[in-house]
């Protein structure tokens, strides 16, 4: 189990780098949609694999009944909601909708995801102790 937690921690580093890159793209004057799509795709591929690993740990650790566990799983659902809005806008291809979605859901997703990773790191630290 500890090896899996270490893998997840390494993936957190990768996810954080992608999110910082996305925030950098969002905060530019010119919206580079192709580059944003590529970054969001990269995040999506990594996130799907990553979340499956976390679900495995949370299911395994359920017997310990950490209060953070339920909250972390609920945050996964909330993050996926922002993710869906973003992907719908990116798939639609309308520049105005993409701008609004990126500016609101894109920023929220990145900021909440980073905060969520920090909470997971604290949770995993408790598992060691």
Q: What is the pTM of this model?
A: 0.84
pLDDT tens-digit readout, 3-17? 988 999 999 999 999
Q: How far is CA 53 from CA 3, 47, 58, in A?
A: 11, 10, 9
63-81 confidence digits (pLDDT tens) = 555 556 667 778 888 888 8
Domain ranges of the chain: 2-128
For the chain, percent helix, then strand, then coil, each to nearest 5?
A: 90, 0, 10
CATH of domain 2-128: 1.20.120
């Amino acid at each position: 189990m500890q090896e899996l937690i270490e893998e997840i921690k390494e993936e957190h580093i990768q996810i954080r780098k992608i999110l910082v890159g996305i925030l950098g793209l969002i905060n530019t004057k010119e919206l580079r949609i192709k580059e944003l799509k590529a970054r969001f795709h990269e995040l999506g591929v990594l996130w799907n694999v990553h979340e499956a690993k976390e679900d495995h740990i949370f299911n395994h650790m359920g017997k310990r009944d950490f209060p953070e566990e339920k909250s972390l799983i609920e945050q996964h659902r909330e993050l996926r909601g922002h993710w869906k809005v973003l992907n719908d806008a990116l798939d639609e291809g309308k520049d105005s909708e993409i701008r609004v979605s990126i500016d609101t859901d894109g920023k929220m997703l990145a900021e909440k995801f980073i905060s969520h990773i920090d909470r997971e790191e604290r949770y995993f630290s408790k598992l060691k102790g």
